[in-house]
């Protein structure tokens, strides 16, 4: 029917964005079946759909029902042979009906399932057949062609990473290879289970690595996307317990709350959101935590607490933020701000009155005495209950700093409980980040990074030193001191990614600020000895620090040393050796400029033409 055809088209478009595991979503199921799915009664849902199928004569309705059965097997039960059986049954329904949207979608889902089971060649074959079955340039042809190219490229990239792994195994750089392999598994290859293995290996083999908290967070995220909420919660708990001051523990607590809500356990969900609000007051999704806490209290019939939470959400955050970047985290992506405000306000039935002057006095006193967590709560309540009060205007301007200082205090509590440990180093680093990026107190930021640099873990030392170098370079403009810090990294921690980044920053300092252009060339050249620090940008582009350094080498020759011969050689090598570089357009521009200087007009015009073509393709 039309509804299913529209959904089929939507899903085909979604497939163009990659093959990461499907999120929990009952939108493709009708109301009664969605209720069974939501309560985890999958076998009963399948049984009802199969019973319905027996009485259906219309083949499009039959396809619609089969899609629902296949989705349950694929997304929820992970019974991939059964899912394949169902999707192939849709393909065989008729030559005429259901229409091409059904057939194409069924074939693409069959290919997705084959990827999930590791049968990539079969999946590529299906996508290739689809691309050839429709005229070039049509939606199905374009989508299918892009899919099999993505899978093929991902498999090639995976083999490259496995070769590099043999060279770096046992060193800190091994972590980066595992991360890149996990990224390939969870995106283009649609193997979330294999990605989970890679992330778990990082956390087990390199528990003090800066990448370990993120790796464990991804384990939780992927379990959630596989509709395994209990396993997801367990993984998120591990993030919080092992890395309580990392960036990812806040996100883990937030996701635990949402997962408990999906299981109908609103009491545990409320505990999670309250913990997030108390311990991570500078977290960017804090408004969403207030929103869901209000929903939890409402579901538990505790309307007083629900009102307090929803008033904080509305008056402290929603009303003061022009761009609501967290709207998707409350299920209201792209909804107008006014609509959100109206809906939330409608749910609020009573107010608990407090004197604004009293709240301001108590909050100010708490702030002066260094009780930042209490001051934060009082400022929020003042703004929530009395948004039009002159005290609220002052509180709004003061609150962000108080929130960050409250998180600093929480991290210091963690340090006191875990002295001279990896946890202590993580907490010091988080304090330094707050001082550097939020409070703009670079003197204190440097002091905290220095504390991390005195810890026992080399990777955290290198990471902290790198941030110190960046502060001297970008904030304090003390370029010689920045060079000294970066040299220390390359001397003491040469086998880390921070050494590679330090060489790059030394190159930038020598080139831009210190007029030591030959030294810049040496620094940039050192990066080539490291495994590529690859980023997959989408649309087929692949970026790396090596590519960026080579481009800077070309610019140094051209702009600073006025050596057009070597500059031309470098830029030509860039376009020859890395056709997927996002800097191709810029490289062609420099080649054109050099040819123009040499009087080679036709070659210059050709280079500029290629630059224009690449500008339209490049994500940079």
Homologous superfamily (CATH) for 542-620: Tetratricopeptide repeat domain (1.25.40.10)
Q: Is 514 helix (H, G, I), strand (E, B) or coil?
A: coil
Does the pLDDT value for residue 7 go beyond 50? no
Cβ-contact 179, 215 below 8 angstroms = yes
Query: How far is residue 499's CA from residue 492's CA, in Å, rounded to a whole number?
Result: 9
Q: Which residues contact 211 (CB under 8 A, 6 or more apart)?
A: 175, 176, 179, 202
Confidence of residue 361 (pLDDT cuts 50, 70, 90): confident
As given in the structure block, the two tokens for residue 161 are: 């990473």
**270 contacts 293 by C-beta, under 8 angstroms:** yes
CA distance 420 to 91: 62
Least reliable range by pLDDT among 199-213, 247-261, 340-354: 340-354
* CB environment 291-301: b (16+ within 10 A), e (fewer): bbbbbbbbeee
pLDDT at position 533: 67
Q: Whole-angstrom Cα distance, residue 147 to residue 126?
A: 10
Question: What confidence score (pLDDT) does residue 136 get?
Answer: 84
pLDDT recorded at residue 619 = 56
Query: Which has the closest alpha carbon to 247: 286, 213, 204?
Result: 213
CATH superfamily of 418-425+432-531: Tetratricopeptide repeat domain (1.25.40.10)
Is 502 a residue whose pLDDT tops 70? yes
Is the separation of the CB atoms in 198 and 181 below 8 Å?
A: yes
pLDDT, average across residues 126-149 = 88
Q: What is the pLDDT of residue 3?
A: 43
pLDDT for position 454: 93
How many angstroms separate the CA atoms of 49 and 375, rounded? 56
- Residue 255: the pLDDT is 96
d(CA 314, CA 341): 7
Q: What pLDDT was estimated at residue 221?
A: 96
The answer, yes or no, to whether residue 104 has pLDDT greater than 70, is yes
Radius of gyration of the chain from Cα atoms? 28
Provide the 3-class DSSP secondary structure of residue 535.
strand
Pick the CATH number of 2-153 from 3.30.450.20, 3.40.50.80, 1.25.40.10, 3.40.640.10: 1.25.40.10
Q: Residue 600 in contact with residue 562, Cβ under 8 Å?
A: no
Domains 418-425+432-531 and 542-620 share a fold: yes
User: Which pLDDT value is given to residue 606?
Assistant: 94
Among all chains, which residue has been given the structure tokens 């309250």?
274
Q: What is the pLDDT of residues 155-204, one digit of tens each?
A: 999 999 999 999 999 888 999 999 999 999 998 999 999 999 999 999 99
- DSSP bridge partners of 541: 538
What mean pLDDT value characterizes the chain? 88
Lowest mean pLDDT among 181-185, 353-357, 547-551: 353-357
What's the 3-state SS for 412-429? HHHHHHCCCCHHHHHHHH
Contacts of 160 (CB under 8 A, 6+ apart): none
The whole-number pLDDT of residue 27 equals 44
Q: Which residues pair with 536 in a beta bridge?
A: 542
Is the predicted pLDDT of residue 278 greater than 70, yes or no? Answer: yes
SS3 content of the chain, % helix, strand, coil (to 5): 75, 0, 25
Over residues 281-297, mean pLDDT: 92
Look at residue 96 in the predicted model and tell me its pLDDT.
Answer: 53
**Which pLDDT value is given to residue 245?**
86
Which of these, 240, 217, 236, lies nearest to 423 by C-alpha position?
A: 240
Phi, psi of 17 (to 5 degrees): -90, 0
Whole-number pLDDT of residue 354: 41
Q: Which residues contact 45 (CB under 8 A, 6 or more apart)?
A: 29, 33, 36, 37, 72
pLDDT tens digits, one per residue of 27-84: 457 778 888 888 889 999 999 999 999 888 888 888 889 999 999 999 999 999 999 9
- Strands annotated E in 31-109: none
Q: Where are the domains of the chain?
A: 2-153, 418-425+432-531, 542-620
Sign of CA dihedral 543, 549, 555, 557: negative
Checking if the pLDDT of 154 tops 80, the result is yes
pLDDT on residue 26: 42
Report pLDDT for 342: 86
Confidence category of residue 279, pLDDT binned at 50, 70, 90: very high
Q: Three-state secondary structure along 460-499?
A: HHHHHHHHHHHHHHHHCCCHHHHHHHHHHHHHHCCCCHHH
Predicted confidence at residue 542, as pLDDT, reads 76
Q: Around 429, how many Cα atoms within 13 Å sit in the side-chain half-sphere?
A: 26
* Average pLDDT of the segment spanning 7-18: 47
- Which residues, 6+ apart, have CB-to-CB distance to 458 below 8 Å? 172, 492, 493, 496
User: Which residues are 84's β-sheet partners?
Assistant: none
Give the bridge partners for 535, in sequence order: 543
pLDDT bracket for residue 8 (50, 70, 90): very low
Q: What is the pLDDT of residues 596-608, one digit of tens each?
A: 999 999 999 999 9
Q: Quickly state the pLDDT bin for 23 (edges 50, 70, 90).
A: very low
Amino acid 535: pLDDT? 67
Of residues 364 and 25, which shows the higher confidence score? 364
Query: pLDDT class for 6, splitting at 50, 70, 90?
Result: very low
Q: What is the pLDDT at residue 21?
A: 38
pLDDT band at 449 (very low <50, low <70, confident <90, very high): very high
Contacts of residues 319-323 at CB distance under 8 Å and 24 or more positions apart, as own/partner, are 319/387, 320/396, 321/287
> For residue 543, what are the β-bridge partners?
535
Mean pLDDT over residues 370-383, rounded? 93
pLDDT score at 346: 83
pLDDT at 413: 95
Nearest to 123 by CA among 131, 133, 113: 113
Q: How confident is the model at residue 303 (pLDDT cuts 50, 70, 90)?
A: low
């Amino acid at each position: 029917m039309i509804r299913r055809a529209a959904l089929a088209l939507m899903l085909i478009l979604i497939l163009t964005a990659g093959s990461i595991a499907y999120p929990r979503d009952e939108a493709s199921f009708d109301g009664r079946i969605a209720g069974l799915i939501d309560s985890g009664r999958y076998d009963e849902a399948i049984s009802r759909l199969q019973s319905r199928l027996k009485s259906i004569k219309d083949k499009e309705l039959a396809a619609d029902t089969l899609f629902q059965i296949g989705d349950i097997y694929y997304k929820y039960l992970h019974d991939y042979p059964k899912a394949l059986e169902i999707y192939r049954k849709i393909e065989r329904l008729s030559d005429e009906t259901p229409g091409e949207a059904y057939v194409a979608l069924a074939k693409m889902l069959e290919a997705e399932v084959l990827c999930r089971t590791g049968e990539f060649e079969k999946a590529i074959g299906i996508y290739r057949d689809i691309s050839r079955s429709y005229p070039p340039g049509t939606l199905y042809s374009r989508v299918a062609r892009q899919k099999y190219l993505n899978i093929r490229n991902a498999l090639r990239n995976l083999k490259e990473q496995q070769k590099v792994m043999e060279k770096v195994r046992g060193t800190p750089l091994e972590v980066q290879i595992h991360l890149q392999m996990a990224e390939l598994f969870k995106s283009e290859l649609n193997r979330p289970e294999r990605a989970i293995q890679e992330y778990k290996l990082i956390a087990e083999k390199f528990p003090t690595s800066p990448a370990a908290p993120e790796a464990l967070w991804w384990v939780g995220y992927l379990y959630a996307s596989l509709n395994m909420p209990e396993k997801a919660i367990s993984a998120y708990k591990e993030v919080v317990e092992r890395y309580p001051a990392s960036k990812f523990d806040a996100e883990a607590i937030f996701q635990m709350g949402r997962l408990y809500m999906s299981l109908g356990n609103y009491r545990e969900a409320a505990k999670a959101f309250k913990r997030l609000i108390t311990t991570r007051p500078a977290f960017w999704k804090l408004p969403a935590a207030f929103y869901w806490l209000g929903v939890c209290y409402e579901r538990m019939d505790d309307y007083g607490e629900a009102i307090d939470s929803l008033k904080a959400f509305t008056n402290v955050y929603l009303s003061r933020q022009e761009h609501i970047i967290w709207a998707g985290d409350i299920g209201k992506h792209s909804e107008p701000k006014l609509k959100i405000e109206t809906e939330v306000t409608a749910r609020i039935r009573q107010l608990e009155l407090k004197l604004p002057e009293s709240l301001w006095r108590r909050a100010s006193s708490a702030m002066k005495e260094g009780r930042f967590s209490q001051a934060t709560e009082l400022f929020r309540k003042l703004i929530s209950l009395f948004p039009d009060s002159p005290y609220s205007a002052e509180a709004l301007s003061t609150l962000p700093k108080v929130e960050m200082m409250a998180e600093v205090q929480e991290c210091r509590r963690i340090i006191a409980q875990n002295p001279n440990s990896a946890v202590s180093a993580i907490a010091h680093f988080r304090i330094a980040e707050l001082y550097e990026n939020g409070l703009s107190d670079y003197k204190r930021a440097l002091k905290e990074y220095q504390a991390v640099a005195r810890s026992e873990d080399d990777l955290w030392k290198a990471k902290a030193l790198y941030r110190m170098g960046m502060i001297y370079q970008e904030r304090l403009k003390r370029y010689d001191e920045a060079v000294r810090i970066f040299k220390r990294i390359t001397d003491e921690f040469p086998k880390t990614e921070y050494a590679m980044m330090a060489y790059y920053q030394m190159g930038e300092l020598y080139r831009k600020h210190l007029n030591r252009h030959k030294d810049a060339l040496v620094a940039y050249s050192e990066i080539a000895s490291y495994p590529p620090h690859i980023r997959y940008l989408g649309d087929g582009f692949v970026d790396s620090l090596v590519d960026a350094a080579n481009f800077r080498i070309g610019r140094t020759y051209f702009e600073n040393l006025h050596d057009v011969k070597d500059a031309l050689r470098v830029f030509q090598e860039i376009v020859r050796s890395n056709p997927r570089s996002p800097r191709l357009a810029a490289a062609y521009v420099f080649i054109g400029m050099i040819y123009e200087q040499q009087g080679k007009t036709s070659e210059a015009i050709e280079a500029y033409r290629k630059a224009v073509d690449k500008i339209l393709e490049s994500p940079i």
